[in-house]
A and B are shown apart, each in its own frame.
Chain A
Amino acid sequence: MSRLRASARSGFALLIVVTLLAFIVLLLVGLAAYTRIETSVAGNTQRQAQAREHALTGLQVALAQLQRHAGPDQRATANAASFGGVNGTRFYTGVWGPDGTGPLTWLVSGNEFATAPTGSEQPPALAVTPASAPPPARAIDLVARGTTNTTNRAQFVSVPLQDLRARGLPGSPNADATYGRYAWWVGDEGVKAPVAVPDTSGTLTAAPYDSADLRGRVRQHLAVGAGAAGTNGSPVFEPRDANNAPLVAGDRVLTASQLGFLRNSGNGQLGHPLQRANYHVWSPNNLAVLADSRRGGLRQDLSLAPGLLGSAFVAWTNYPAYTESTVPVDPETVDPALAAIAPPAILPAYGSDPVRRRLRITPPLLGEGGAHQIAPVLSYFLLSFNVRTAGDTAAARPFELAARWLVSLWNPYTSALVPENLRLEITGLPRTIRVVNVQGESPVPVGSFSVQDESVFGSPPIDPDLAERPLIINLPWTPDGASADRQSWLPGRVYTWRSVTDNSQPERPPETGFASQFYSRTLDTTGAAAAVRPLPLGEQLGSDNHVLEVDGADRVTVTVYLVPRTGPDEPPAPPIKLATYISPEFVTSFASSPQAARQTSTQFSYVFRLAESIDTPAAPGRWLTTSGLDPRRRRLPGEAFVTGENGNDPSLYVNYRTISAPDRLLDRGEGASDRSYNEDVPVFELPRAPLLSLGATQHFRLPGQRPFMVGNSWGFGQELNGVPVGELFDRYFFSGVRDGFTPGVAANGDLIVPNPLLRTVRWYEPGVGYRKPTTDDLRATVEGLDPAGAVGAADARSSRFFLQAGAFNLNSTNVAAWAAVLRGVRFPAPQTFRYLSLSSSTGVPSGDTSVATVQSTNAQFLRFSQTAQETYQADAGRADPAGSAARTELFRRGMRTLSATETGVLAAKIVELITARHGEEGPFLSVGDFLAPHPRYAAFDAEGGEIPRSLLEAAIAETGINTAVAEIDPEAKVQLNSQWLTQGDVMTALAPALFARSDTFTIRAYGEAVNPATNATEGRAWCEALVQRVPEYFDPPTGNGDLTGDAAEVLPENLTSPLNLANGRRFRILSFRWLTQPDL
């Protein structure tokens, strides 16, 4: 017992020691644990930092690949959806090179190591293609549910992981080991519809946009951003409505996620789920470099240098030169000495508003493949002759020749014209008329004469080169001071003159021509209203029957002259030739029916009129779709006309007075009800403001061709000033900064140019640095430019200062995106159309003008993008007579409205055809490529003849959206009333927006940190960048002794910097953000 106690006592020291040691151990363990936690925290932070670095590596690789492959101008981009893409790869972005080589690459991780075979022009063998998704174990989803709000992998993007390896890492000092991975994907924003583009037209204040009306019309000229739609074409939201307009103003929507903050029609937020569901459909805005993807180089500005397309184009676009510059004249204030030359007072409907001023009749100008003139067109011609004895008596009297005429001229334009006095020079009249007395059993020749004799109707020719003496008649414009109908030559309106009684019979015809009566188309009384000339045939009994044996030319030629106004003390100015019209072929020799010599009924007549729909019911569009028969032609051939209802034998038109043909488009009565706009047929538009869309040049005339050459497939193959028409859309653009226009400057220094889609970008001025362009900078691009268009030192490439907003890659195969883009022109806010409506009883406008208001989110395609206001009102059916087959209303509306359903159907068909094209030939490489006719889309006429068509034309035709607006035959292939949607109309809206490539991309990159010893992933990071291609080259000139850089306007073939040859134009990161996994 005591030993035990002793033993316990002996362990006391040990116990103390052990206790102390345990305490120390606990302390050390605690400290170690603490340190381990801290080390672990630090380690995690370090590995996360590594993952971020690897993600940035992926981003940099992606940017480099994008720069290398998509930096040069001559590239096209498209999604893989139509190139064999499968789940996970459909949204890979492919890049194709010049002439369609490629794809050069698919912009996803794994392809950065692909190199072209040495000495080969072939694209490199690519490690990653969209044909198969990368194996899941070696791939990462960079677009998934968090981005698209769906678990459907068809919407996902899966890309291969790339190892980052090194030797000598801890755990494997002598072998390569993986210390990290990265992955990246370049998403094409340009194939999405830009649905948050603001309408900036309201900021325009400089003349001529000091008119609210003209500012408002800008949104008719071109598509100001897409209108979000579903695949069925139904609107989803409207960025320009009252709720959203302030939210999208100033390009406020910076990221796609902010689209969810916009408002629906009920002013509720769209919501993030909807935005995510449309991730592949919508982008806020896409910006494009104004470059030529086919030939390379920046586009040239036709507003600054219209001479690039020739002198006629200059004249056509120079609207101030032919726009009436006066204001309505108050007779009380006019100097009496000037009263005669002052413009006639006009009623309020026309003239006071700059956008409604009348245009001046202008002589033809042909130059460099184009033509410009403003002149009325001969639409009806009747010239009747009556050889008779004077006095309408049975007694013997001398012979005389009476001539009666009716002439109708048509204003084919959508603008009112300043009326002028006109003069007609008519040739091809009978050279010999033999008068034969058939009263007895045997015919007895009385004598013969020529109408062209100077003692008959042969006047000195106006045209000195004319070989014969013409009949000259005057067509005076005599306003009555009350009716607006007679104050101006109203848009699309036909006016008629008739001969007046002229028995003066001087020795010779008046040199200045016979008089006519304006505003009358009645020849009701036999023998009345005739110009009468004595004939040197002696006297005959008026009761004897006679016949006329006529020999003449086969065609009558009518040349229209403008009689210039001159002051009261000035000598008459020589008439100005406007146009020549050649009749159809007539029988050259014929004999009239016997008729008593005293009879005043005309014995023969030359009758012809402009051929139109009714004349070719199986091909109603023929009058506007036949080469060489453009009614505006300076010398319109006989094929453009048809003879009267009795054929081409003038003798079959005895005492012919019929002019009325109610089923004709161009038949206009002059009764009370015919003063309605409902009779007008406008077909062509003349600029009355700066042009903003190349599509609007469809109204420019190419000599000898059919109308609407630019933008439609039939224009391809033609040239304008040496430029193939098919290349116009890729080589040029309109800034709207035409001669005389001075852009405003916004508070931030941006130029306010008429084209609302242009965004100014800073440019690098060597020796100065980056700065915003000024008006002088724009003008400097055309200083010294040859007006005829030859490009010298100046290059008219103001495109170096701009990016184009609202851009859309036409290689997109997304139906909803196309539907949204097709809705580019729409009127979510009320758009007013002030049209002239005359009282049918008085001819006076009721009030100033009548106003129609359109408020619709349906897609609008304007044929008359600048002037639809004036002709808009289009009531179905003709007023007089009711039931006329002439569908004049189809011509007046000036724009075609597609319903949501029609828009969706058209979008689906376009995508179907694009997808087929991609599968067969690859992407479109240029806008011209897209618009060009191709055998794949050809139609066939009744005889099996091929009618070339483009993809867009085929899509329009195959969807049948024009069936309801056919003039006569719904099966007709092409008609050109303004309701009949054409490719040119689509391009009027979309030309500024369509490109064959994208310049805005989203890069998503992923990085992970890997433990080289365990190969375990210990850190992950995702990032995203929005990148934008800009006009400046990758290596711009700095002006600091660096001679290698190239200015933005340098063409690809003239680049001096190898960096620029390889990398093209610079991509810049616009925004960057780190993502979380739920964001994906």
Chain B
Amino acid sequence: MSPQLPRPRPRARAGFTLVELLVAAGITTFMAGFIAVIVMNISANASRSSSRLGADAQARLILDQIERDLQGALYRDDGNVWLAAEVLNGASGGATGLWQIAPRNPKPVGGISLALNTPSITDSRFGTAGVWLRFFTHGNSVTNAALDISVPSAPVAVGYQIIRRYTATNPANLETAYLLHRAEARPLLTNSRPGVFESGYGITGTAYTGGGNNNSNVTGDPRTVLVPGTTRVLDAVIGDNVIDFGIRAYARDATAPGGLRLLFPATAGGALSNTPLALQSRLPPGTPATASTYNRIFPDVIDVMVRILTDTGAEQIANLERVQTPALTVPQRYNGNAQLWWWGVAAENSRVYIRRIVLRGGAL
């Protein structure tokens, strides 16, 4: 009789018990759920951060450019207007003809869109299309492949303004966005088209606002300071989703609080106001500030504010302004006020960026 081998355990014994499976499934489910939550949170945070970082990066780009331009702003005491700023608060933005009015729930005109007299510029709102800022500064040089300068750094006219306009060059694409433009007039004559050098330095003059040979169909024409490119030319855009752009301009004045006297947006008496005088700087820094000179003094310091929508905010504002079927109704919390709704969405999904810039050029 041979010894009896131990019997192998039945196959069923090799599997998981129901309990084991249940426990494993439970643990897996719990872990998956836990991880999913984490991933979702991380993803949401990443999305928000990305959106915010995107806005930050865009703001940095915009403010760096404005800072560079304003630090190099030019002025001569020759009676011309060398820097101008005004609030564009019409339903169609400024005089560009490019502003595409939203078919539904447009950015409010006036009202809560115009809050220039807040204590802090952070809380200010600069009207429908923000501030149209234009001045003369040094343009960047342009080099060719051999790093030879093909266009020198020379005085140019620049204009900053927000325009809600088409975002694509394709005429079939009717998507719009709030775009911040920086139009730069070329420094010199090209063929028969004058540049800044030939047009002179009166930034409010007809060379920069009129038509004729200075029209806005050609990139770099002086009139692009007013109309930065035709309907579908977007090469002047330096930032999108910019829904507000404004400045506060100051002159140094030892007798003023903080050593700075407000020039813009201000009344003839120098007070913050929702109905400010347009800034048309033709007098040098240091000129006594009187009722007739406040808005004519070239500033020493300018605070710049931009409000930039996050990507989410941009989507929401776009949805808000898009034609919907059925039409969207104003949420209850806005008490049926579409203006509050627009700004509520904008405020929740945007960030405000401020930078104080010292203008370093002066005059005799």
Taking a contact as CB atoms under 8 Å apart, the answer to whether B201 and A1070 are in contact is no
- Cα A23 to Cα B28 in complex, Å, equals 14
Q: Does B104 make an interface contact (CB < 8 A)?
A: no
CB distance from A13 to the nearest CB of B (A): 6
- Cα A1073 to Cα B153 in complex, Å, equals 9
CB distance from A248 to the nearest CB of B (A): 10
Interface membership of chain B positions 23-61, coded 1 if the CB is closer than 8 angstroms to chain A and 0 otherwise: 010011001100100110010001000100100010010
Q: Which residues of B contact A276 (CB under 8 A)?
A: 149
CB distance from B196 to the nearest CB of A (A): 9
Partner of A1028, one of B15, B188, B364: B364
Q: Does A944 make an interface contact (CB < 8 A)?
A: no
CB-CB nearest in chain B for A765: B288
The stretch of B74-82, B270-278, B301-309, B310-318 in contact with A is: B74-82
Q: Which residues of B contact A431 (CB under 8 A)?
A: none
Interface residues of A in 198-256 (CB under 8 A from B): 247, 250-252, 254-255
Partner of B152, one of A6, A272, A750: A272
CB-CB nearest in chain A for B61: A45
Taking a contact as CB atoms under 8 Å apart, the answer to whether B361 and A252 are in contact is no
CB-CB nearest in chain B for A1042: B254
The stretch of B89-97, B123-131, B135-143, B206-214 in contact with A is: B135-143
Taking a contact as CB atoms under 8 Å apart, the answer to whether A762 and B286 are in contact is yes
Partner of A1076, one of B46, B50, B141: B141
- Cα A771 to Cα B74 in complex, Å, equals 20
Taking a contact as CB atoms under 8 Å apart, the answer to whether B360 and A16 are in contact is no
- Cα A803 to Cα B151 in complex, Å, equals 32
Q: Does B337 make an interface contact (CB < 8 A)?
A: no
Q: Does A759 make an interface contact (CB < 8 A)?
A: yes
Taking a contact as CB atoms under 8 Å apart, the answer to whether B364 and A258 are in contact is no
The stretch of A338-346, A454-462, A526-534, A741-749 in contact with B is: A741-749
CB-CB nearest in chain A for B139: A1073
Interface residues of A in 489-522 (CB under 8 A from B): none
- Cα A226 to Cα B215 in complex, Å, equals 36
Taking a contact as CB atoms under 8 Å apart, the answer to whether A254 and B155 are in contact is yes
Taking a contact as CB atoms under 8 Å apart, the answer to whether B15 and A261 are in contact is no
Interface membership of chain A positions 245-289, coded 1 if the CB is closer than 8 angstroms to chain B and 0 otherwise: 001001110110110110000000100100110000000000100
Q: Chain B contact residues: over half helix, strand or loop, or mixed? A: loop
Given A34-B46, A803-B364, A770-B78 contact (CB < 8 Å): no
Taking a contact as CB atoms under 8 Å apart, the answer to whether B74 and A257 are in contact is no
Most buried by B among A2, A16, A803, A1078: A1078
Taking a contact as CB atoms under 8 Å apart, the answer to whether B286 and A258 are in contact is no
- Cα A23 to Cα B38 in complex, Å, equals 12
Given A768-B288, A1070-B364, A1072-B361, A251-B78 contact (CB < 8 Å): yes
- Cα A247 to Cα B24 in complex, Å, equals 86
Q: Does B200 make an interface contact (CB < 8 A)?
A: yes
Taking a contact as CB atoms under 8 Å apart, the answer to whether A746 and B287 are in contact is no
Q: Which residues of B contact A100 (CB under 8 A)?
A: none
Taking a contact as CB atoms under 8 Å apart, the answer to whether A258 and B155 are in contact is yes
Taking a contact as CB atoms under 8 Å apart, the answer to whether A1025 and B77 are in contact is no
Taking a contact as CB atoms under 8 Å apart, the answer to whether B46 and A31 are in contact is yes
Taking a contact as CB atoms under 8 Å apart, the answer to whether B143 and A1078 are in contact is yes
Partner of B288, one of A23, A269, A771: A771
Q: Does A1068 make an interface contact (CB < 8 A)?
A: yes
Q: Which residues of A contact B76 (CB under 8 A)?
A: 251, 254
Taking a contact as CB atoms under 8 Å apart, the answer to whether A769 and B141 are in contact is no
Q: Which residues of A contact B201 (CB under 8 A)?
A: 252
Taking a contact as CB atoms under 8 Å apart, the answer to whether A769 and B154 are in contact is no
Q: Which residues of B contact A31 (CB under 8 A)?
A: 42, 46
Taking a contact as CB atoms under 8 Å apart, the answer to whether B72 and A257 are in contact is no
Taking a contact as CB atoms under 8 Å apart, the answer to whether B79 and A1069 are in contact is no
Taking a contact as CB atoms under 8 Å apart, the answer to whether A254 and B35 are in contact is no
Task: Classify chain B's interface size.
Answer: 35 or more
Q: Does B229 make an interface contact (CB < 8 A)?
A: no
Taking a contact as CB atoms under 8 Å apart, the answer to whether A20 and B138 are in contact is no
Q: Does B14 make an interface contact (CB < 8 A)?
A: yes
Taking a contact as CB atoms under 8 Å apart, the answer to whether A257 and B79 are in contact is no
CB distance from B69 to the nearest CB of A (A): 10
Interface membership of chain A positions 1043-1080, coded 1 if the CB is closer than 8 angstroms to chain B and 0 otherwise: 00000000000000000000000001111111110110
Interface membership of chain A positions 550-593, coded 1 if the CB is closer than 8 angstroms to chain B and 0 otherwise: 00000000000000000000000000000000000000000000
- Cα A749 to Cα B282 in complex, Å, equals 11
- Cα A13 to Cα B28 in complex, Å, equals 8
Taking a contact as CB atoms under 8 Å apart, the answer to whether B35 and A23 are in contact is yes
Q: Which residues of A contact B282 (CB under 8 A)?
A: 748
Taking a contact as CB atoms under 8 Å apart, the answer to whether A759 and B15 are in contact is no
Q: Does B333 make an interface contact (CB < 8 A)?
A: no
Taking a contact as CB atoms under 8 Å apart, the answer to whether A255 and B149 are in contact is no
Q: Does A143 make an interface contact (CB < 8 A)?
A: no
Taking a contact as CB atoms under 8 Å apart, the answer to whether B153 and A1071 are in contact is no
Taking a contact as CB atoms under 8 Å apart, the answer to whether A257 and B197 are in contact is no
Interface residues of A in 750-776 (CB under 8 A from B): 750, 759, 761-762, 764, 768-771
Q: Does B22 make an interface contact (CB < 8 A)?
A: no
CB distance from A113 to the nearest CB of B (A): 25
Partner of B364, one of A45, A275, A762: A762
Taking a contact as CB atoms under 8 Å apart, the answer to whether A258 and B141 are in contact is no
- Cα A747 to Cα B143 in complex, Å, equals 40
CB distance from A626 to the nearest CB of B (A): 48
CB distance from A54 to the nearest CB of B (A): 15
Partner of B68, one of A762, A769, A1074: A1074
- Cα A1057 to Cα B117 in complex, Å, equals 42
Given A27-B42, A762-B77, A1072-B154 contact (CB < 8 Å): no
Taking a contact as CB atoms under 8 Å apart, the answer to whether A748 and B155 are in contact is no
Taking a contact as CB atoms under 8 Å apart, the answer to whether B72 and A1074 are in contact is yes
Taking a contact as CB atoms under 8 Å apart, the answer to whether B364 and A1068 are in contact is yes
- Cα A13 to Cα B20 in complex, Å, equals 11
Given A269-B188, A769-B286, A257-B35 contact (CB < 8 Å): no
Interface membership of chain B positions 349-364, coded 1 if the CB is closer than 8 angstroms to chain A and 0 otherwise: 0000000000011111
- Cα A2 to Cα B42 in complex, Å, equals 43
Interface membership of chain B positions 2-23, coded 1 if the CB is closer than 8 angstroms to chain A and 0 otherwise: 0000000001001110000000
Taking a contact as CB atoms under 8 Å apart, the answer to whether A146 and B149 are in contact is yes
Q: Does B187 make an interface contact (CB < 8 A)?
A: yes
Q: Does A24 make an interface contact (CB < 8 A)?
A: yes
Partner of A254, one of B14, B74, B189, B198: B74
Q: Which residues of A contact B122 (CB under 8 A)?
A: none
Taking a contact as CB atoms under 8 Å apart, the answer to whether B71 and A1072 are in contact is yes
Taking a contact as CB atoms under 8 Å apart, the answer to whether B141 and A749 are in contact is no
CB distance from B105 to the nearest CB of A (A): 34
Q: Which residues of B contact A803 (CB under 8 A)?
A: 364
Q: Does A38 make an interface contact (CB < 8 A)?
A: yes
Interface residues of A in 813-845 (CB under 8 A from B): none
Q: Does A41 make an interface contact (CB < 8 A)?
A: yes
Q: Which residues of A contact B286 (CB under 8 A)?
A: 762, 764, 769-770
CB-CB nearest in chain A for B78: A748
CB distance from A286 to the nearest CB of B (A): 13
CB-CB nearest in chain B for A748: B79
CB distance from A391 to the nearest CB of B (A): 87
Q: Which residues of A contact B78 (CB under 8 A)?
A: 250-251, 748, 750
Taking a contact as CB atoms under 8 Å apart, the answer to whether A1071 and B361 are in contact is yes
Q: Which residues of B contact A750 (CB under 8 A)?
A: 78-79
- Cα A236 to Cα B344 in complex, Å, equals 64
Q: 6 more A-B contacts (CB under 8 A) besides A770-B286, A1030-B364?
A: A247-B198, A255-B155, A272-B150, A275-B152, A749-B79, A762-B77
Can you name 24 A-B pairs with beta carbons within 8 Å?
Answer: A27-B42, A34-B46, A41-B57, A45-B64, A146-B147, A146-B149, A247-B198, A250-B200, A254-B155, A255-B154, A258-B187, A258-B197, A269-B189, A750-B79, A762-B284, A762-B286, A770-B287, A771-B287, A771-B288, A1028-B364, A1069-B361, A1074-B68, A1074-B71, A1076-B153
Q: A-side interface residues toward B, CB under 8 Å? A: 2, 5-6, 9, 13, 16-17, 20, 23-24, 27, 31, 34, 38, 41, 45, 146, 247, 250-252, 254-255, 257-258, 260-261, 269, 272, 275-276, 287, 746-750, 759, 761-762, 764, 768-771, 803, 1025, 1028, 1030, 1040, 1068-1076, 1078-1079
